[in-house]
Amino acid sequence: MSAHQRGTELDLSWISKVQVNQPAVLRRAEQIQARRPVKKEWQVAWLLKAVTFIDLTTLSGDDTSSNIQRLCYKAKYPIREDLLKALNMHGKGITTAAVCVYPARVCDAVRALKAAGCDIPVASVATGFPAGQTHLKTRLEEIRLAVEDGATEIDVVINRTLVLTGQWEALYDEIRQFRKACGEAHLKTILATGELGSLTNVYKASMIAMMAGSDFIKTSTGKETVNATFPVAIVMLRAIRDFFWKTGNKIGFKPAGGIRSAKDSLAWLSLIKEELGDEWLKPELFRIGASTLLADIERQIYHHVTGRYAAYHDLPMS
């Protein structure tokens, strides 16, 4: 990832009059979802590209050093070698974009990736993930400790209360402090859009997060009742586009939560391509937060290569 963005001064005039046209957003979302997916060789090429955008994630209470080790191995070797050879894609360095873990597991991930001899970044969630309802001092310390342990990307959660009560300056100040605590690490700001009440709030929170210095804005923790949806994504992507037009700064986008099928991943790539263009289709500006998506992508590639669907034992754990 390139150098992180420093943000801008808080300018509430940007967002004070914003009203999102919900029916228009919903129509656009339906349009995207109704598209026919690409087929055969084209589909495989897009699926391999999708792999390189995945933040391969495990955020479970029962995470141990051994399943973190397996996760990191899978991040380095996401698709079985013989399948890549059949597609003439072996040796092309296809890995996932990052691994994403809880702060207490960062050391395990850094150690496992070092042992595997690869430089895939380690992302850590922080700031009282997933609810963000802990003291600010604790949330900032959590970021600093994760960075000390070797995380180079930090996925923070915002305090949703500040959005719901319209405390935009307080939200800006908190994210500014997160940015500072990250040091040289990249800041991905999770808006938890399913808990923000309206699409207008999603747009405003996106803008504030970008002004405050976020390198990425991310839809969800994956723990809310409603996670990554197309209407929310369209609003966030339009905010990214507006911010780029106003400042010249390109901010990344990360949908997370509920993206489980290869078909889903193709729809997300298509959405980014249409809303922001090809220049956003790279891991520096687009990620997909997922834990089970990779298994389905590998299954589809296996089917394309062999002509049959994989049995459970045919593909290694992911």
Residues annotated as catalytic (active site), given as ranges: 218, 254
* Cis bond before residue 23 (omega within 30° of 0): no
Helix (H) or strand (E) holding 288: strand 288-290
Residue bearing tokens 């999708």: 50
Which structure tokens are listed for 164? 């719901």
- What are 239's two structure tokens? 């905010």
Which one, of 166, 174, 240, lies nearest residue 203 by Cα? 240
Q: Three-class SS of residue 99? A: strand
Question: Please, are residues 122 and 109 in contact by the beta-carbon 8 Å criterion?
Answer: yes
Query: CA of 163: how far to CAs of 2, 21, 41, in Å?
Result: 29, 19, 44
Q: What is the arrangement of strands in the sheet containing 186-190, beginning at the earlier edge strand?
A: 252-254, 216-218, 186-190, 153-157, 122-126, 98-101, 54-57, 288-290
Q: Compute, in degrees rounded to 10, the torsion defined by CA atoms 171, 172, 174, 179.
A: 140
> How far is residue 83's CA from residue 304's CA, in Å, rounded to a whole number?
9
